[in-house]
Chains A and B, each alone.
Chain A
Amino acid sequence: MSRISQCFENLKADGQTALIPYVTAGDPEPWVTVPLLHALVDAGADIIELGIPFSDPMCDGPVIQKACERALKNDVSIKHVLEMVKKFREKNSDTPIVLMGYANPIEAIGYEKFAELAKQAGVDGVLTVDVPPEESTEFRTIMDANGIDTIYLVAPTTSAERMATIASFARGFIYYVSIKGVTGAAALDVAEVSEKMAQLRELTTLPLGVGFGIRDGKSAAAVSEIADAVVVGSTLVRCIEEHAERMDELPAAVAGLLAEMRHAINARDLASA
């Protein structure tokens, strides 16, 4: 069983919802990332989504765009990102890591080479936001062969027919994009998301994560009501931006924000247990 599946099994047994923070690797400085990841785990992260910086992040809003720009100022490449994962694994062998990014930096290394390096580093899953399932057959085959889960997105605009196709390709968990828009754009509508969750559960037994538009403990708790995992990104990245000049305080500040969400989710999980 993959580390991601194991993680969801354990949480399910405890009646808990997974909390998945997103941060961009190397933002604002490369050395901050590994201590930050450990702090996030201490604050209650179950899985970590680590962004690979890209020069043209067309699916992201301004907050994550700027994070990419900060990281790229230090020339943070995939190889650096994988070194960070390797370093993280020296002290943590349980928390799954999902790399999130765009196709081109991965294509620049080559699928085979990337899979080999990612596996060595201890990566568990990969989500390429600009590669829909139709274009990812080769990528998925290579990731499968290396035991790395390919995570796919489902959006509010995804047709029922497509949902079924995506469900059949998906590994690890399915990531539901809760709003029409870019990351960090608007608040989500829980009722609307709930409907889609029900539709997806008819098609898959994989855990369902929800991201985009989760900003605080309240919205995190509301989503944990209907999803198996809550993904939070821009809110944390904004906090990183605010602490770019005070990096010694950064891991604790970001972890503090995540801890708030963790508490809100736990309180909700307990109440419904």
Chain B
Amino acid sequence: MPEQSVHDYYKTFPDERGHFGPYGGRFVGETLMGAIFELEQAYEQYRNDANFLAEMDKDLSTFVGRPSPLYLAENWTAKLGGAQIYLKREDLNHTGAHKVNNTIGQALLAKRMGKKRIIAETGAGQHGVATATVAARLGMECVVYMGAADVERQAQNVYRMKLLGAQVVPVESGARTLKDALNEALRDWVTNVDDTFYIIGTVAGPHPYPAMVRDFQSIIGRETKQQMQAINGKLPDALVACIGGGSNAIGLFYPFIEDESVAMYGVEGAGHGIETGQHSAPLAAGRPGVLHGNRTYLMQDDNGEIVETHSISAGLDYPGVGPEHAWLKDIGRANYVSVTDDEALAAFHELTRTEGIIPALESSHALAYVSKLAPTMSPEQTMVVNLSGRGDKDMHTVAAMAGLKF
């Protein structure tokens, strides 16, 4: 049970300045403050606007393919011998992951705000592809910042973005990965603040991004709730999702936060093992600090410098985490755990062979935890795991682990 009542959670968090307890907030240079207020105002105006919501629903239905199915993994459930395991099939969305739920929402907002140019950061390239996709459709200029190391690792997604008409800018500074791409996108935004909309891909960044991205992703949890009611007539007992920045997890969790009977598990990337320091699990092994516009748990050294992270999955390879997860951890409403690269890879193969579904390496972290959790639960209990993306993009990584090369 939570250490703190979540009875009034939705009314209370975030506060009007975007704080979840001590986390979140707006930590950006003064030049961006105006743009952030402008965005907040537009979001407040449209989030309950019937026309805006109708347009978004239509896109989610006819362009993305929602609602995504809730699939009972019978073979895997039988094999693990515990709770019934349902997979929320975000992998079946157009572009192959949950990321598009958010880019659709933000792009429609950008259009209403009269912005002509869209920028984004990307790690594995999934958010970049989802952004380039909506930009192509709306006829907007699109620039995607990507760490130079990720550009090399994710050549196929880079090409997809280019096909969609986006300009992909390799970022050479720092560790040349996702956090550096975020820095560079913020630098672009501050320079082109008048005509540019920055589509952040996760529930991080300055307020209102964490709340806005969460709202766009909450379609995952809302559908899950309805689908579980329709199938079983009751709420699930547990929810499981992987956590990089945490957008797929918060999307699943959020509509259940005040339903205290539902346990929540966020699964971070333990990389080579938490004890090695080579991981991407700030909630497990970091401490609070300020980065990329918000206060949250960060992987940092004693001097407050951000340290390099490691995960087999590029989408989890980030030193921070959304501020709302930091808060849900502190109040004890959600449990945060971690699994290693090896455990995730084993789960990747397991699901592929038992259910005929090839999951993304990110989602495989959630699956690895399911394989630990399900056997501890009874067959009458149910759990939903967010299958946040499909594994097509990871073929070369998994093949390389097996010593193969395309």
Contacts and interface: CB of A to CB of B under 8 A. Distances in A.
Contacts of A102: 290
Given A103-B27, A104-B291, A180 B304 contact: no
B132 to A, nearest CB: 23
A155 B194 contact: no
Contact of B305 (A54, A66, A79): A54
B306 interface: yes
Contacts of B186: 58-59
Contact of A105 (B33, B191, B305): B305
A102 B300 CA distance: 14
Contacts of A204: none
B125 interface: no
- Residue of B31, B33, B307 contacting most chain A CB atoms (<10 Å): B31
Given A56-B179, A107-B290, A108-B304, A62 B173 contact: yes
Contacts of A182: 187, 190-191
Contacts of B17: 134
Interface in B334-385: none
A272 to B, nearest CB: 29
Contacts of B28: 130, 132
Interface in B285-311: 288-293, 298, 300, 302-307
Contact of B306 (A104, A109, A155, A185): A104
B29 A59 contact: yes
A187 to B, nearest CB: 14
B278 interface: no
Given A54-B305, A56-B183, A105-B304, A135 B191 contact: no
Interface stretch (A38-46, A140-148, A157-165, A251-259): A157-165
A77 B290 contact: no
A255 B173 CA distance: 28
A264 interface: no
A69 B180 CA distance: 13
B30 A153 contact: yes
A72 interface: yes
B303 A158 contact: no
A135 B174 CA distance: 27
A44 to B, nearest CB: 28
A15 interface: no
A35 interface: no
B190 A135 contact: no
Given A107-B290, A107-B304, A108-B304, A134 B26 contact: yes
B35 interface: yes
Contact of A58 (B25, B34, B292, B307): B292
B31 A177 contact: yes
Interface residues of B, number: 39
B186 to A, nearest CB: 5
Interface string B169-212: 00001100001101100110011111000000000000000000
Contact of A181 (B179, B191, B304, B305): B191
Contact of A55 (B30, B193, B305): B305
- Residue of B17, B33, B174, B194 contacting most chain A CB atoms (<10 Å): B33
B33 A61 contact: no
Contacts, number: 128
B292 to A, nearest CB: 7
B306 A55 contact: yes
A157 B179 contact: no
A110 B51 CA distance: 47
Nearest to B183: A58
Contacts of B305: 53-55, 72, 77, 104-105
B33 A135 contact: no
B26 A132 contact: yes
Contacts of B192: 180
B173 A107 contact: no
Interface in A153-195: 153-159, 162, 166, 177, 180-182, 185
A55 B29 contact: no
A222 interface: no
A76 to B, nearest CB: 9
A65 interface: yes
A207 B86 CA distance: 64
A131 interface: yes
Contacts of A69: 173-174
B378 to A, nearest CB: 45
A107 B33 CA distance: 21
B174 A55 contact: yes
Nearest to A185: B191
Given A58-B187, A62-B173, A155-B30, A104 B25 contact: no
Interface in B112-165: none
A22 B173 CA distance: 21
B44 to A, nearest CB: 17
B182 to A, nearest CB: 8
Contacts of B292: 56, 58
Given A55-B306, A58-B183, A108-B289, A157 B27 contact: no
A153 to B, nearest CB: 4
Contact of A56 (B26, B174, B190, B303): B174
A180 B179 contact: no
Contacts of B174: 55-56, 65, 69
Given A154-B30, A180-B31, 15 more contacts: A56-B180, A56-B183, A57-B183, A58-B29, A59-B187, A77-B305, A102-B290, A103-B289, A107-B290, A108-B300, A108-B302, A109-B304, A134-B17, A181-B31, A185-B191
8 contacts: A55-B307, A56-B306, A65-B173, A78-B303, A108-B302, A108-B303, A158-B34, A181-B187
Q: What 3 A-B pairs come out closest when comparing CB atoms?
A: A108-B304, A105-B304, A157-B34
